[in-house]
């Protein structure tokens, strides 16, 4: 939640709390008569009427606030435990990467990042300007019509290249191919 919304919510809660406080004060001064409160074996005589409404409300708010604080404390401790575990796992991952790099004789990740950063910087540099003394050679215009000089055009097919490790299929001259089955 953004900081502005949090400020608005806190200001609204403050105004609401002040309004409730004013209401309770007016209620208390308006209801000054005394009453007798009895519940099972518990008896209170001469209790002001406003306490009958305000005290249970205040006790419920206090219990709710304590429950909320304990709940937030639990979530905070869980968050810190998970954060600590994530840091442990990140450290373990970094050590495993370094061990793997040494086992495979690979350069460190920092060296690779520096090298790629340098290569990326080279991409954005402007190429050096050609010397002014040499005139640039202009390509000759091609004046060929459709179908002219087909022999001079390059083939678009790629040449087949076999690697030295790739097995080559050799036809077996002793076996005869089977005739196709008739349906």
Look at residue 6 and tell me whether its pLDDT is greater than 80.
Answer: yes
Look at residue 107 and tell me whether its pLDDT is greater than 90.
Answer: no
Range with the lowest mean pLDDT among 30-39, 77-86, 98-107?
Answer: 98-107
Mean pLDDT of 134-145: 60
Specify the pTM.
0.38
Q: Residues of the chain with pLDDT > 90: what percent?
A: 24
Residue with the larger pLDDT of the pair 145 and 4: 4
Look at residue 63 and tell me whether its pLDDT is greater than 90.
Answer: yes
Mean pLDDT of 166-180: 62
Name the most confidently modeled range: 33-47, 116-130, 148-162. 33-47
Look at residue 130 and tell me whether its pLDDT is greater than 70.
Answer: no
Range with the lowest mean pLDDT among 1-15, 104-118, 166-180?
Answer: 166-180
**pLDDT band (50, 70, 90) for residue 30:** confident
Range with the lowest mean pLDDT among 24-33, 60-69, 85-94, 114-123?
Answer: 114-123
Q: What is the pLDDT of residue 93?
A: 94
Task: Return d(Cα 183, Cα 177) in angstroms, integer.
Answer: 18
Residue with the larger pLDDT of the pair 170 and 57: 57
Q: What is the mean pLDDT of the chain?
A: 78
Mean pLDDT of 36-58: 87
């Amino acid at each position: 939640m953004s900081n502005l919304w949090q400020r608005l919510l806190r200001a609204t809660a403050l105004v609401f709390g002040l309004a409730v406080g004013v209401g309770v004060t007016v209620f208390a001064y308006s209801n000054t008569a005394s009453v007798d409160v009895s519940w099972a074996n518990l008896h209170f005589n001469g209790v002001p009427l406003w306490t009958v409404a305000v005290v249970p409300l205040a006790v419920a708010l206090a219990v709710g606030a304590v429950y909320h604080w304990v709940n937030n404390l639990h979530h905070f401790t869980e968050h810190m435990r998970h954060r600590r575990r994530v840091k442990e796992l990140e450290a373990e991952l970094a050590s495993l990467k370094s061990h793997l790099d040494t086992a495979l004789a690979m350069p460190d990740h920092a060296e690779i990042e520096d090298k790629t950063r340098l290569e990326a910087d080279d991409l954005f540099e402007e190429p050096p300007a050609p010397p002014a003394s040499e005139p640039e050679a202009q390509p000759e215009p091609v004046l060929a019509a459709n179908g002219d000089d087909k022999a001079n055009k390059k083939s678009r097919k790629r040449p087949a290249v076999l690697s030295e490790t790739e097995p080559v299929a050799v036809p077996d001259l002793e076996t005869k191919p089977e005739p196709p089955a008739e349906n």
